[in-house]
Amino acid sequence: MLIHTDLLRRMLEVCLSNWAFCHLGPQLISHLCKTGAAVLKAMGRIGNETVKGSLNERPEGPELAAEPWPENAALYQQLKEEQILLSDNASSLAVQAFLQMCNLPVRVICRANAEYMSPSGKVPFIHVGNQVVSELGPIVQFVKAKGHSLSDGLDEVQKAEMKAYMELVNNMLLTAELYLQWCDDVTVEEITHPRYGSPYPWPLNRILSYQKQWEIRRKMKAIGWAGKTLEQVLEDVDQCCHALSQRLGTQPYFFNKHPTELDALVFGHLFTILTTQLITDELSEKVKNYSNLTAFCRRIEQQYFEGHEKDSATIAARSSKRPLLR
């Protein structure tokens, strides 16, 4: 069913772009972008609804715990080479790292409309059996319901700290990444706009990326980040890395012997920052200041991603900068 929606989507895009070419007017453009995005979302949801079972419910009860992890579990993200952005790549890598740490096999499938297929609108999402779950938090709970958990050995205080540090990464690192790629004009012009809409024809690509940019900028304003300058944002990233570095200290993982979802999340974000080439190196320089964090990233990569050649994360380990992600 996903293939059919792809075809329908392509037909719709062609029609929409032709229509836009003929009737360019400001009202029509805004109407177009709304309908285009809404239709794409609906397409994605139609694709989801054909999957039997619940879309976004939290799995509860013994009936789901009884099902073992299937072999054909799939993780969906955007196209790796041309489309995916820094923040989405970080989230996706975090989920992949978490699943690797739990020893659960998953295939990574790249789709251009992954964002619209996702039940919550965010990537990555996993398709396991007949369940579709998106974002790291719900995925962790889903995996826990299946009987796999990394944080069972922690006591209450440590669990509180783990949750708090995960929120720290989400609050500071993820928001800083979003700021950099959507609110910094140079980066937006040269990297984000070309990448975000690359699978779609003109003018749909421009419309979609402007719409997303507007949405993200409104959100930044709501949380008070719109007034920040780039220097202040980098300062926040530095503070966050300092806190993480302090907490890690000389231990191999954040909670000593065994990795937890916090390690997966931190790895996902820091590794992506270190290996993504942006306009300037300032962001990755901030992370490189803390040697224990870079050693931590290297250690997790060697341990969990080494065996998979097709995973481009391993190739990145050899070179410090990889031109694949522009």
Q: Which residues lie near other proteins (CB under 8 A)?
A: 58, 120-121, 156-157, 159-161, 163-165, 167-168, 170-172, 218-219, 221-224, 239-240, 242-244, 246-247, 249
**Cβ-based nearer residue to other proteins, 224 or 323:** 224
Q: How many CA atoms lie within 13 A of 298 on its CB side?
A: 11
Query: Cα–Cα distance between 16 and 11 in angstroms, integer?
Result: 9
Name which of 60 and 190 has its Cβ closer to other proteins: 60
| Angle, vertex CA 76, rays to CA 75 and CA 79, nearest 5 | 130
Give the shortest CB-53-to-other proteins separation in angstroms.
18
Cβ closer to other proteins: 156 or 309?
156
Distance in Å, CB of 225 to other proteins, minimum = 11
The minimum distance between CB 215 and other proteins, in angstroms, equals 9
Shortest separation between residue 226's beta carbon and other proteins, angstroms: 11
CB-wise, 130 or 246, nearer to other proteins? Answer: 246
Q: Residue 148 or 159: which CB sits closer to other proteins?
A: 159
Q: How far is the CB of 311 from other proteins (least distance, A)?
A: 30
C-beta of 266: minimal distance to other proteins in Å? 12
Toward other proteins, which CB reaches closer, 26 or 224? 224
Instruction: Decide whether 218 or 308 has the Cβ nearer to other proteins.
Output: 218
What's the closest the beta carbon of residue 246 comes to other proteins, in angstroms? Answer: 4
Task: Name the token pair of 259.
Answer: 């990795």
